[in-house]
Amino acid sequence: AWILHNDTLIQEEELAISKEDRGYQFGDGIYEVIRIYEGNLFTAKEHIDRFYASAEKIKIVIPYTKDVLHKLLYDLVEQNEINNGQVYVQITRGDAMRQHHFPQETSPVMVAYTKTVERPKEMMEAGVHGTFIEDMRWLRCDIKSLNLLGNVMAKQEAHEAGSYEAILHRGEVVTEGSSSNMYGIKNGILYTHPATNLILNGITRSVILDLCRNLGIEVQETAFTKEQALEMDEFFMSSTTAEIMPIVRIDGQEIGNGSPGEATRKLQQAFEANLKLTVKM
Ligand code: PMP
């Protein structure tokens, strides 16, 4: 398959990354995952904006304009003839002799690749299980950093408990998932953690909050506790790949009546309609 190396499309076998790439050694870089529906990059502008914002927060200067990057990613998707899938793109601070502080001269190294992925329709229909895991990540979760050890450890623990996602909490307060945002609905009001430094402000999250406005679902960007989570009428998570995924059990305990809720369904339908609209652009 073709991959993007900086601003050049190459065959993936040709990729060579330095042993001292700072992404490889320190996780010193940032990334994005963008969904491809019918050959189109969904909410590409929002993902590209967040890519540049994350880079800026760690003082990596991306040596292309947003428009150029957008075009490069589209070329990659077209070259690989991806219809439904995703594009992964990362940029690191580049290759330099190993020392913690930034090297004087840096050339960021960008790599992007595509893969075919189907929508997780059955799971979205039936719902999945979640497990509470203490959020032990750092305090800049707003940066889409390559350092995912905290997320990986949490997901593995949830996985070993037989569940789909780790529901992270700092003390009693639910923050987000290991690779998703979390929402509860109680008495018709949707609650989700505010977009602070403690969560990644998901692009899917922004789409959902817009949909709520259109559907007349009241939103409160207010954190809730583990105890409140278990008392919600409906619960779901969201991400680029999982879309709107109902969570029907947490730590083995049923949420609501143990099946995806009505408002969650409505949001899923509105999200799907939105995809079709976006695809036509
Ligand atoms: N939080 C974390 C920690 C994530 O890794 C992700 C997925 N990248 C999300 C939230 C959801 O973000 P998005 O909707 O932009 O995929």
Domain extents in the chain:
2-117, 122-280
State the ipTM, two decimals: 0.99
Asked if 216 and 270 count as a contact pair (C-beta separation under 8 A), the reply is no
Instruction: State in Å: Cα 71 to ligand 1 middle.
Output: 23
Residue 276 has what pLDDT? 77
Instruction: State in Å: Cα 237 to ligand 1 middle.
Output: 10
Asked if 91 and 110 count as a contact pair (C-beta separation under 8 A), the reply is yes
Residue that the structure tokens 């529901």 belong to: 167
What lies within 8 Å, CB to CB, of 139 at 6+ separation is 197, 198
* Atom 12 of ligand 1, nearest CA residue: 202
| Cα(107)–Cα(86) distance, integer angstroms | 26
Told to judge if 59 belongs to the known catalytic residues of this protein, a careful annotator would answer no
Mutate to test the pocket of ligand 1, among 140, 181, 192, 196 (most ligand atoms within 8 A of CB): 181
Annotated catalytic residue: which of 45, 71, 144, 280? 144
- Ligand 1 neighbour 203 (Cβ under 6 A): yes
| Cα(216)–Cα(67) distance, integer angstroms | 34
- Ligand 1 neighbour 54 (Cβ under 6 A): no
Asked if 35 and 42 count as a contact pair (C-beta separation under 8 A), the reply is yes
* Atom 13 of ligand 1, nearest CA residue: 202
Instruction: State in Å: Cα 135 to ligand 1 middle.
Output: 15
Residue 279 has what pLDDT? 60
- Ligand 1 neighbour 176 (Cβ under 6 A): yes
| Cα(281)–Cα(223) distance, integer angstroms | 35
| Cα(203)–Cα(85) distance, integer angstroms | 17
Q: What is the CATH number of domain 122-280?
A: 3.20.10.10
Going from the C-alpha of 257 to that of each of 4, 128, 132, the distances in angstroms are 47, 14, 19
Q: What is the maximum alpha-carbon separation in the chain? A: 58
- Ligand 1 neighbour 204 (Cβ under 6 A): yes
**Residuewise pLDDT in 10s, the chain (281 residues):** 999 999 999 999 999 999 999 999 999 999 999 999 999 999 999 999 999 999 999 999 999 999 999 999 999 999 999 999 999 999 999 999 999 999 998 899 999 999 999 999 999 999 999 999 999 999 999 999 999 999 999 999 999 999 999 999 999 999 999 999 999 999 999 999 999 999 999 999 999 999 999 999 999 999 999 999 999 999 999 999 999 999 999 999 999 999 999 999 999 999 999 887 766 44
How many Cβ atoms are within 10 Å of 126's Cβ, its own excluded?
11
| Cα(93)–Cα(61) distance, integer angstroms | 9
Asked if 268 and 124 count as a contact pair (C-beta separation under 8 A), the reply is yes
How many Cβ atoms are within 10 Å of 57's Cβ, its own excluded?
14
- Assess if CATH 2.40.37.10 describes domain 2-117: no
Instruction: State in Å: Cα 104 to ligand 1 middle.
Output: 32
* Atom 2 of ligand 1, nearest CA residue: 179
Instruction: State in Å: Cα 14 to ligand 1 middle.
Output: 30
Residue type, 58: I
Mutate to test the pocket of ligand 1, among 119, 180, 182 (most ligand atoms within 8 A of CB): 180
| Cα(171)–Cα(221) distance, integer angstroms | 19
Residue 278 has what pLDDT? 67
